[in-house]
């Protein structure tokens, strides 16, 4: 039995994709699935898939591949998604509202249980079935509901103060969508998703492609007719 403590982060990032395909296969009544099939579905190399799955402790069988029920258990456990994890959102602006309303997180055991804001005009509004709560009630909420994960979607200028406040309230994992690097104590886990940074990379790469084409020999394919 492998210890999930040893799974490398790049493998961790691929596990949700395997889990999604395996669950779909189960719904289709399949009993086992091969690494080759997973690799093909995800445009990965089979050796990579076998390594990733082995790191979760599941064992493949000759010919048939991986037993689907075992695979779901081992991946889910490796991700710590055995039980639904409650999380709250701080910041009921556009992005916070979008995340609160996005029900795709439940597939990975993430349940958004509350959304907070300090703007009196937003408090009391309903977003994705949740009522926006005043941020000064957050300490009480975290203590009574034992929430450990928070999603930060406040404006960048308020992000550090928000993180500090969350840490004081006992939050241990922060998913930060604000475009800022936040300082937290070593015992708190910080994961950042910066949509502006992603789009910047797309824009710049696209600009480079265009320049390559106009500057270089355009022996490449004809471009959008």
Q: Which of residues 111-140 bind a second copy (CB under 8 A)?
A: none
Contact in structure between 50 and 75 (CB atoms under 8 Å): no
Residue 59 CB, shortest distance to a second copy, in Å, is: 21
3-class secondary structure, 176:
strand
**E strand spans, the chain:** 32-33, 66-67, 85-90, 110-117, 126-127, 130-134, 149-152, 173-176, 189-192
1 interacts with a second copy by CB under 8 A: no
23 interacts with a second copy by CB under 8 A: no
165 interacts with a second copy by CB under 8 A: no
Report the alpha-carbon distance of residue 128 to residue 110 in Å, rounded.
15
Report the alpha-carbon distance of residue 34 to residue 25 in Å, rounded.
11
Tell me how many residues contact a second copy (CB under 8 A): 83
7 interacts with a second copy by CB under 8 A: yes
Residue 61 or 195 having the CB closest to a second copy? 195
180 interacts with a second copy by CB under 8 A: yes
Report the alpha-carbon distance of residue 141 to residue 181 in Å, rounded.
26
Residue from 48, 85, 125, 158 in contact with a second copy (CB under 8 A): 85
26 interacts with a second copy by CB under 8 A: no
Footprint of a second copy on residues 46-75 (CB under 8 A)?
Answer: none
3-class secondary structure, 25:
helix
Residue 63 CB, shortest distance to a second copy, in Å, is: 26
Residue 134 CB, shortest distance to a second copy, in Å, is: 21
């Amino acid at each position: 039995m492998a210890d999930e403590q040893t799974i490398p982060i790049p493998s961790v990032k691929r596990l949700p994709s395997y889990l999604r395909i395996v669950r779909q296969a189960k719904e289709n009544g399949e009993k086992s699935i091969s690494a080759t099939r997973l690799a093909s579905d995800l445009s990965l190399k089979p050796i990579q898939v076998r390594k990733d799955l082995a790191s979760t402790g599941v064992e493949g069988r000759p010919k048939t591949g991986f037993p689907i029920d075992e695979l779901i258990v081992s991946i889910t456990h490796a991700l710590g998604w055995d039980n639904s994890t409650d999380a709250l959102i701080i910041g009921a602006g556009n992005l916070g509202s979008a995340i609160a309303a996005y029900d795709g997180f439940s597939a990975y055991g993430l349940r958004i249980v509350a959304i907070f804001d300090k703007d009196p005009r937003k408090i009391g509004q309903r977003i994705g079935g949740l009522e926006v709560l005043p941020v000064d009630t957050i300490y009480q909420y975290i203590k009574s509901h034992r929430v450990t994960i928070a999603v930060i979607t406040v404006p960048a200028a308020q992000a550090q103060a928000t993180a500090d406040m969350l840490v004081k309230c006992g939050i241990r994992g922060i998913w930060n969508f604000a475009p800022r690097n936040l300082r937290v104590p070593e015992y708190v886990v910080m994961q950042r998703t910066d949509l502006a940074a992603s789009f910047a990379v797309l824009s710049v790469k696209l600009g480079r492609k265009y320049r390559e084409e106009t500057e270089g020999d355009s022996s490449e394919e004809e471009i959008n007719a």
